[in-house]
Amino acid sequence: MQIAKVEPQAKRLRKQAGTWLKEMRGRAGLSQIELARILGFKYYTFISQVENGFGRVPTGSLEPWARALGVEPSAFGRELLSYYDPELHRLLFEVKR
C-alpha cells in the first residue's frame, strides 16, 4: 500500500523537477538541442524526457548540467534532490530548531 502512494508522488515530483529544469534552460537561453550538445549527448531527446518527468538528471551529470545552465552546482544538486529524493533532502538540509 505504501509503495502505491509513493509512486504517484515520485512521478509528480519528477514532473515538477522537469518544469524547473526547463525554466532554467530557458533562462540560460539554450534549446534542448544546444544543451544536449554542450553535455555531449548524441540526442536531445534525453533532455526532453527529463524535462517531461520521464527521466532524471544522472548524478554524474549534475555538475556539467548545472554549469551549462549557469547555476552553482551545489545549489543545483540540492534543488534536484528536493524533487528526486525529498526525504533525503529533508534529512540533509532541514533546519533544526
Where exactly are the structural domains of the chain?
2-93
> CA-CA distance, 3 to 17, in Å (whole number)?
21
With 0-12 / 13-18 / 19 or more C-beta atoms within 10 angstroms meaning exposed / middle / buried, residue 64 is middle
Q: Output the pLDDT for position 65.
A: 98
Q: Is the dihedral of CA 83, 58, 95, 27 positive or negative?
A: negative
Among 1.10.8.870, 2.60.120.260, 1.10.260.40, 1.20.272.10, what is the CATH number of 2-93?
1.10.260.40
pLDDT digits (tens, 9 = 90+) for 15-66: 999 999 999 999 999 999 999 999 999 999 999 999 999 999 999 999 999 9
Q: Specify whether the CB–CB gap between 56 and 13 falls below 8 A.
A: no
Q: Output the pLDDT for position 97.
A: 61
Q: How confident is the model at residue 7 (pLDDT cuts 50, 70, 90)?
A: confident
Write the CA distances from 56 to 4, 11, 43, 80, 94, integer angstroms: 20, 11, 15, 9, 23
Q: Output the pLDDT for position 32.
A: 98
Q: Output the pLDDT for position 4.
A: 52
pLDDT digits (tens, 9 = 90+) for 62-89: 999 999 999 999 999 999 999 999 999 9
Write the CA distances from 83 to 21, 28, 31, 48, 50, integer angstroms: 11, 21, 23, 17, 12
